[in-house]
Structure 1
Amino acid sequence: MKSLAKHTAGLTRCAGLLAVLAVVGLLPWLSHRDPALTVLRARSAEQEATEEALAAIRADLGLDAGPLSLLGRWAADLLHGDFGTSWVSGHDVLPSVIAGLQVSLGLMGAALGVAVLLAAALVTPVLVRGRGSAGAFAAMLAAVPEFLLATVALLVFGVWLGWLPTSGWQSVEYLVLPALALGVPAGGLLGRLVADALPAVLDERWAELWRGAGVSRARIAGAALRRVLPPLVPQFGMVAVGLTGGAVAVETVFAVPGIGRTALGAARSQDLPLLQGSVLALLLLGLVAGAVAAGVRHRLLGPSLRDAGLTLPPARPVRAHPAVPVVLAAVLLLTIGWGLLRDPYTVDTTVRLAAPSWSHPLGTDGLGRDVLARLGHGAASTVGTATAVCLLGLLIALVLGFAPGLAAGASDIANALPPVIVGILVAAAVGPGTGGAALAVALISWPALSAHAAALVQEVRASAFLTAQRAIGASPFWILTRHVLPSVAAPVARHALLRLPGIALALASLGFLGLGAQPPAPEWGLLLEESRAYVERAPWAALAPAVALALLAGLAVSGAALTQGRRVRRTTPAPVETKAKKEAPVGV
């Protein structure tokens, strides 16, 4: 059974990867715009777009040969190292992809260094004292979106203090702010994973025996880290994948000529050959990061433990005062409710970029629109869209929870694709918009819920009361609908609800990059992007959505911590292995 599950997961993984490659290769055919018109405008803006001229371009590009022929020719060229020719510049795509990739790899390397240093700072107190946790601080750092941190860093250190350059890529000092914006959330996540798992490991029997035998604290700390790292290495790979998605936003904020900014620019200009090459490079980075993580885990475990299913003792949950999520939710609801009472679309150029006042409590934007009104109405639409995405993810998880082998392979591909990359592909195919952003997030937001559902299904099916139901002649349909589904649906639904703020942040990041809601929609990410043009004159217009997004991230962390703490307190004592397996999916 185990080998069959692995075989199924491998087939699903290959099928998912081929499907993603097929979508990339068929972008010219899937595009909502006429590629021939894009090429014509790039070659000559004055030439009239007659049907004859467009037909000639389609024939030249091979766009009139059908989707299968288009995909086959693209794949054949790709195998020969030919990434095509840019429709806008007329130059080969491969040199542009390599140049952007070199810049992004340098930025990601510096960001990874920042992440490791921050993680070490969070882990060191636990190793020294033998107890403690990274706690809510690390969780908060991990929850802050890169685009938000990049905007705040640019505003504070670049604009207000003038310590560091705000855009470009010329010397080492231009690397500092982008590396910090990209590395701090990753470091917070790494530090929290390791620091939260260490106390339970240091309380294990072997550590007590070593301390009693007089083994040095440094040697025990090294052994504890070696015990902690193998089960966490796959999560480290996910952090590296997250860096590829975060790099798109950070490179955009700081005008870094990396592969992420190249992909985003190609999507906006409909330069599909350049977009195809850039997305392939980003996808390759994600897959390589996952493969390296798997190899490192394989190496750390050694031959004796590779098939042992090594797991960690359950990590201590992040502590949060019960009043914290209540206060954060109250502030957000009060702001949103106040904003919903005002008109977000009224333009008054006489009060453009006005400072906060009684008539405009959060000031006005570049067109004189009330920032508070746009903040309130933007929250309503964003939360509504995020709710729909969560419901869709819940349905997918409940279905795939009964097919763990199928879900495992597909989730590997979904985990290798950050929301920004999928958002770029969807925007290139159907155009930017709220629906496209929701589709992009929904396509990759289900693996954590699916893993949770699969674990619960396995646990419920193995329970004694189901054996009794089968013994008295209950039908499989009765057992499924009356026992298994109710036992699985409620916990997974709570898990999906906890992911609601994170989904809203992902939608806001796509709106910030121009891949989600379009002007004049009052969406939080879009508000932050629009305010960057005049951040020096009216910083309050940028601070309002930035603070709102930070409060949303805080609500996600504190709400999840409070719920997890209550669930752990209600859980009866169980053996270490069972408890670890039961707790793991919820924290994914």
Structure 2
Amino acid sequence: MTDTPVMQPRGSLREWLRAPTASSPRQARAQAVWRGWQRLITNRAAFAGLIVLLILVTLAVVGPWLTPYSVMGQDLSVRLQPPSAQHLLGTDDLGRDILTRILYGARITLMMAALVAVIAGPIGLAVGATAGYLGGWFDIVAMRLVDVFLSFPSLILALAFVAALGPGIENAVIAISLSAWPPIARLARAEALTVRKSDYIAAARLQGASPMRLIMKHVMPICLPSVVVRVTLNMAGIILTAAGLGFLGLGAQPPSPEWGAMLASGRQFMLTSWWLAATPGAAIMLVSLSFNLLGDGLRDVLDPRND
């Protein structure tokens, strides 16, 4: 007669995640995510940045249902009105509600920042990881190209690209992406240089893995956490560059409610109607600060020395 195994209760999810040893790769990954989340929420500055960004994204999504005014509608009878109960952030020189335009402008700003991160992040990661692993002539050519890009300030480089491509949101995203990938590539290369001589890379090479497979399956995943932190920290600079292009008339074009364009249209009224320029300027500052705080927190969370 054989003994029937007795199923032991697994306990709560929190106890399972806090188990001292991982019984499976799935549990190990879950424990790593749990520890990272705990470190993030205990970092007050990073958690505050995350909360502000979540609130901003929520407002950008539900913005049309929060205000009764049209983003493009003009009413010259209420132009340059100060903040009041009817218009919480006042009106601009064409009688448009500033709060409505700020909410719609958040969509444009976050969309541009997200597109730049999606374009520049993978390009920088692929170029840097490939250059660091392969070395040789590819490394020399790629890093000299990176040096050329880094020799110019990002805003000046973006201005040159958008001047050649023409004004507009799409061209501004391309121009900012072309100026944002070189720092990511240099960081990924530095990570790849330390990884390529590891024992598990040598073992995978002895098993017949091709250089492309080694880069895609082993080198790039190791470089990814540092790249994510770098992209998050660069988001503030990306937003400032996008606002700068809009301020100079090379980004989003009027009457689009982009924050940089709103700042440019309100600067001529700074002495008489300060809220026209102060409101989009405060929004740019708040989002940039939130990304910086979140990036600092992610750097602590993704640091392997904290495990």
TM-score band by shorter chain is 0.7 to 0.9
May I ask how many residue pairs the two structures share in their alignment?
Answer: 254
Deviates more, 1:516-525 or 1:483-492: 483-492
**Contact 2:204–2:214 (Cα < 8 Å) also in 1:** yes
SS in 2 for 1:432: coil
**Partner residue, 2:261:** 526
**Contact 2:300–2:306 (Cα < 8 Å) also in 1:** no
CA-CA distance at 1:432 after TM superposition: 1.9
Letter matched to residue 348 of structure 1: D
**Contact 1:392–1:442 (Cα < 8 Å) also in 2:** yes
Pair 1:328 & 2:63 matched = no
Distance 2:295 2:106 in 1: 20
CA-CA distance at 1:475 after TM superposition: 3.7
Which of 1 and 2 has greater Rg? 1
**Contact 1:512–1:529 (Cα < 8 Å) also in 2:** yes
Letter matched to residue 347 of structure 1: Q
**Partner residue, 2:19:** none
**Contact 1:375–1:522 (Cα < 8 Å) also in 2:** yes
Once the two structures are superposed, residues 221-258 of structure 1 have per-residue CA deviations (whole angstroms, 9 ceiling, x without a partner) of: xxxxxxxxxxxxxxxxxxxxxxxxxxxxxxxxxxxxxx
Higher RCO structure (Cα 8 Å, ≥6 apart): 2
CA-CA distance at 1:520 after TM superposition: 0.4
Distance 2:50 2:220 in 1: 31
Alignment of 1:67-466 (within 5 A): 321-330=45-54, 332-333=56-57, 335-337=59-61, 339-341=63-65, 342=67, 343-401=70-128, 402-403=130-131, 404-466=139-201
CA-CA distance at 1:337 after TM superposition: 4.9
**Contact 1:457–1:488 (Cα < 8 Å) also in 2:** yes
Distance 2:306 2:232 in 1: 24
Distance 1:405 1:374, change over 3 A: same
SS in 2 for 1:417: coil
**Contact 1:339–1:373 (Cα < 8 Å) also in 2:** yes
Pair 1:557 & 2:284 matched = no
CA-CA distance at 1:333 after TM superposition: 4.0
**Partner residue, 2:34:** none
Match for 1:487 among 190, 201, 222? 222
**Contact 2:233–2:296 (Cα < 8 Å) also in 1:** no
CA-CA distance at 1:552 after TM superposition: 1.4
CA-CA distance at 1:351 after TM superposition: 0.9
Distance 1:407 1:350 in 2: 58
Distance 1:397 1:512, change over 3 A: same
Match for 2:239 among 499, 504, 516? 504
**Partner residue, 2:280:** 545
**Contact 1:320–1:561 (Cα < 8 Å) also in 2:** no
**Partner residue, 1:571:** 305
CA-CA distance at 1:395 after TM superposition: 2.5
Letter matched to residue 222 of structure 2: S
CA-CA distance at 1:496 after TM superposition: 2.1
- Where structure 1 has 5 or more consecutive residues not aligned to the other structure, the ranges are 1-318, 574-588
- Where structure 2 has 5 or more consecutive residues not aligned to the other structure, the ranges are 1-42, 132-138
Letter matched to residue 458 of structure 1: L
Distance 2:161 2:210 in 1: 43
Distance 1:463 1:528, change over 3 A: same
Give the TM-score normalised by the residue count of structure 2: 0.74
CA-CA distance at 1:551 after TM superposition: 0.5
**Contact 2:79–2:92 (Cα < 8 Å) also in 1:** yes
Once the two structures are superposed, residues 21-59 of structure 1 have per-residue CA deviations (whole angstroms, 9 ceiling, x without a partner) of: xxxxxxxxxxxxxxxxxxxxxxxxxxxxxxxxxxxxxxx
Once the two structures are superposed, residues 407-465 of structure 1 have per-residue CA deviations (whole angstroms, 9 ceiling, x without a partner) of: 32122221222243334433443332222322221221112100111122222211111
Letter matched to residue 437 of structure 1: A
**Contact 1:400–1:406 (Cα < 8 Å) also in 2:** no
SS in 2 for 1:571: helix
Question: What is the aligned-residue RMSD (CA, Å)?
Answer: 2.4
Distance 1:383 1:334, change over 3 A: closer
Once the two structures are superposed, residues 95-148 of structure 1 have per-residue CA deviations (whole angstroms, 9 ceiling, x without a partner) of: xxxxxxxxxxxxxxxxxxxxxxxxxxxxxxxxxxxxxxxxxxxxxxxxxxxxxx
Distance 2:231 2:47 in 1: 22
Distance 1:430 1:564, change over 3 A: closer
**Partner residue, 1:50:** none
Distance 1:383 1:321, change over 3 A: closer
Distance 1:427 1:562, change over 3 A: closer
User: How high is the sequence identity, in percent, across the aligned residues?
Assistant: 33
SS in 2 for 1:321: helix
Distance 1:327 1:462 in 2: 40
CA-CA distance at 1:531 after TM superposition: 0.7
Letter matched to residue 110 of structure 2: V
**Partner residue, 2:270:** 535
Distance 2:141 2:126 in 1: 11
SS in 1 for 2:45: coil
SS in 1 for 2:186: helix
Once the two structures are superposed, residues 195-228 of structure 1 have per-residue CA deviations (whole angstroms, 9 ceiling, x without a partner) of: xxxxxxxxxxxxxxxxxxxxxxxxxxxxxxxxxx
Letter matched to residue 88 of structure 2: P
Distance 1:354 1:518, change over 3 A: same
Letter matched to residue 369 of structure 1: R
CA-CA distance at 1:473 after TM superposition: 3.4
Distance 1:358 1:469 in 2: 66
